[in-house]
Structure 1
Amino acid sequence: MSLIKPFRGLRPTAGRAADVAAPPYDVLSSEEARVRAAGKPWSFLHISKPEIDLPPETDPYAPEVYAKAAENLGKMIQAGVLAQDDGECYYAYRLTMGKHVQTGLVAAACVTDYDSNRIRKHEFTRPDKEDDRVRQIEALNAQTGPVLLAYPGSARADDLLARASAGTPDADVTADDGIRHTLWVVRDAELIAAIGAAFDAMHALYIADGHHRSAAASRVAAARGRAGSSGYFLAVIFPHHEMKIMDYNRVVKDLNGLSETDFLARLTGAFKVEAAPAAVHPAQPGEFGLYLPGRWLRLTIKPELIPATDPVARLDVSLLSDHLLGPVLGIADLRRDKRIDFVGGIRGLGELEKRVNSGEMAVAFALHPTRMEDLMAVADAGEVMPPKSTWFEPKLADGLVSHVLD
């Protein structure tokens, strides 16, 4: 089986992309989705967050929610808002956020290669979230939320994507958040074959975001005997060097019984601690910003504490946990400890100041973004990253292309 293959995408008909495109299902609460979809009958949120069309007290995992998703999808197809391409295609997909531009490929990725770890993971999954995605796929008989993948450096693939994204796009939407989503349908048989060959030559692809969606696709494929299109899952694959990872910062409710003076004194064993005149955006790995009410400090991990070869232990998120959050603040389990919360870098350092100055939190930590090369090294080693290690921006849109199963 090929690593990727073209497919007959289900997508908005001409002039409908702006009506349909929606944020990913997992970045909005049900209430936020209800507000965003108000007055937008064709928003894909009616499929990805169908509880918005049911009473507010409805359990988002209730059977009627998945049934509503299928009903809404059927209505959009019947109304001619969505239609499936006649032939198997690839799709070039460009995201533009300010000056940042990344161009990738929408394709069906092979479940067998996911199962064998040629499509590599770096996170654990939760059974309840997998179950949710399995039910959604089964209800729709389609995969509607793409998995975000990265491919390692390939000049050949980059060149082919440049060819695929030339000319007039088939869809061009600027979302409410200012992110531009541009899509080209790749129908040329020669170009399709060349793209497939370029990707088949790659030793691996890497999951950036979408571990639960890919795991759910694997479960559905196993249940269906990997027959036909069920042996593949919807993915958007970008060159790793174009992908943008933002910082994923931490805020903590208390100082574990320490005064500020004692807390800072405890840090000097592992860090160089310096006062900072302004908010600290860490300029390099091993550097951290620390915010206490009314003041910023810069922390720099002592070089001898950075492991030379362990791809997980040398991550900044691990260094902060191993040398500060755990031993000083007593936070050993980032997944379950209610004293810690996480703030995506898209919100800026002002959000850290706000949450500390309000008294909600006692201290905040700004981190340098994890690098794609670090993510890939962890995946290559068969390891997993600590929770909340990466925050990818810009986000993919739901609804621009979906993968219908046989």
Structure 2
Amino acid sequence: MAKIHPFKAFRPTRDKVSLVTSRSYEEYSPAELASQLDFNPLSFLHILNPAYTNQQKITFEKRFKLVHQKYQDFKYDNILVQDEKPAVYVHRIKTDNNTFTGIILATTIDDYKNGLIKKHEDTLQYRVELFKDYMRYAGFNTEPVLMSYPDNDLIDNWIENKTSRVPDFEFATTIKDVHYLWKVDDVEEIEFLQETFDKIGDLYIADGHHRSASANMLFDEQAANKTESKSRFMSFLIADSNVKIYEYNRLIRDLNGLSKEDFIDKLSENFEVEIKSQQLFHPSKKHEFGMYLENEFYSLTLKLEKFSFDDALQGLDAQILYDTVLLPILGIADLRNDERIDYIPGKKSVIDIKKIIDSEEFELGFVLFPSDITEIKNIADSNLIMPPKSTYIEPKFRSGLVVYEL
């Protein structure tokens, strides 16, 4: 059974938390980023981008050391303060459409190595090594690995009891999300939670495969300095039913030399193709796909009688699209690196896909039906790997809310 542990986090002070925390660095447009860095001296983005005021090219090592120094400055100025006792942290995020509640804590590298923490995505070696070096030089991590656990009444009741109290943090963001945080440092409360998770079974990585792999690599490299903090990594645990899974839709630049008619004829071998004209179409069930081509929408329904799925991966819609269309018809073999394919998360509207294709940067779009948590867990249990960009998963965590120091 996967083990959980409290830790002594560094956190913003209550009066500064709304100014300190930030979205993921990549989510900001250049204008938004410049505004935050120019006018908000407390933003955690100053730690993540310490060379903002001096934009000369520097090595990754030097940049990561500057991150470490800026982080130390935030601590020195008491913008970030360490909790006195090890704790776990109940975190709630309210968005326009969803409410997510989970527990921030530490999980172990040993459980990751031993398969008690399960994964469903492959990783890119260079990204794993880059984030490993980041943690090594910066000395902290503020992005927990999102993991799911089977729904459990005892944990639900424990969370309900904790969230009935006044939160340590309550603040809104510029994108109108509301965040709450409750610190739990009572030893008996933590021991109860540990005992409950001892009985609950495996944990499943929903988002953060590169971060967990990087923590594992850093642990292996620093054999002579295997501290308690380096033998664990920060995680955000959330019940299976509370995870929100969106699809990643596909944008294709060309038809691989085929005419529209020839392309649709080839699709008809494995799909029932129905033209929807200008009707915005999104699939409503598994094995159904939407397509947009030359200003028209289509529905593609898989001819199931032609297929026999031997495992969970073969029946995954993203894999089916690859096996029946992207590879054999469009000639796209490398889903990560082929410049003829791009991806757009399912949070974006079908209208956005239409606009992008109508701009003529792409010729073709596919809309998928999102996977569910059971499908993802079945793939993880079978030690299989989903195709790249199969899922876009929420919740997303804010940088600087809770910092795990190595």
Alignment TM class, shorter chain as reference: over 0.9
Number of matched residues?
403
Alignment of 1:40-51 (within 5 A): 40-51=40-51
Any gaps of 5 or more consecutive residues in structure 1? none
What residue number does 2:339 align with? 338
Residue 113 of structure 1 deviates from its aligned partner by 0.2
The Cα shift of 1:258 comes to: 1.2
Structure 2 segments unaligned to the other structure (5+ residues): none
Distance 1:165 1:379 in 2: 31
Please give the per-residue CA displacement for 1:158-211, whole angstroms capped at 9, x wherever unaligned: 222222222111112222222222111112222211111111222211111111
Counterpart for residue 116 of structure 2: 118
Offset of residue 308 of structure 1: 3.8
The aligned counterpart of 2:195 is 197
Return the alpha-carbon distance in structure 1 between the equivalents of residues 137 and 29 of structure 2.
21
Give the structure-2-normalised TM-score: 0.94
Give the Cα–Cα distance (whole angstroms) in 2 for the partners of residues 216 and 357 of structure 1.
Answer: 40
In 1, Cα distance between the equivalents of 2:30 and 2:145? 21
Q: Is the 8 A contact 1:33 1:49 kept in 2?
A: no
Alpha-carbon spacing, 1:30–1:224, altered in 2? closer, same or farther (3 Å) = farther
2: CA distance, partners of 1:186 / 1:384: 36
Q: Does residue 399 of the first structure (1) align with residue 397 of the second (2)?
A: no
Alpha-carbon distance in structure 1 between the residues aligned to 2:113 and 2:28: 29
Q: For residue 219 of structure 1, what is the aligned residue in structure 2? A: 217
Correspondence 1:130 to 2:128 = yes
Q: Give distance in 2, aligned partners of 1:215 and 1:50.
A: 25
Higher mean alpha-carbon deviation, 359-368 vs 166-175, is at 166-175
Does structure 1 retain, via aligned residues, the 8 Å contact 2:2–2:117? Answer: no
Moved more, 188-197 or 265-274: 188-197
State the partner residue of 1:303.
304
State the partner residue of 1:239.
Answer: 239
Instruction: Name 2:279's counterpart in structure 1.
Output: 278
- What's the CA shift string for 1:85-105, capped at 9, x where partnerless? 000100001121213111100
Q: 1:33–1:52: 8 Å Cα contact kept in structure 2?
A: no
Q: Is the 8 A contact 2:90 2:104 kept in 1?
A: yes
Structure 2: which amino acid aligns with 1:350? I
Residue in structure 2 matching 1:209, options 207, 211, 218? 207
For residues 48-92 of structure 1, give each alpha carbon's deviation from its aligned partner in whole angstroms, at most 9, with x where no partner exists: 34343431x525x52221111111111111111110000010000
Identity of aligned residues (%): 33
Deviation at 1:36, TM superposition (A): 4.0
- Map 1:4-403 to 2 at 5 A: 4-28=4-28, 33-55=33-55, 57-59=56-58, 62-225=60-223, 226-276=226-276, 277-403=278-404
Q: Is the 8 A contact 2:2 2:203 kept in 1?
A: no
Amino acid aligned to 1:324: V
Change (3 A) 1:117 1:86: same
TM-superposed deviation, 1:311: 1.1
CA distance in 1, matches of 2:126, 2:54: 21
**Aligned-pair RMSD on alpha carbons?**
1.9
C-alpha spacing 1:240/1:306, structure 2 compared with 1 (3 Å): farther
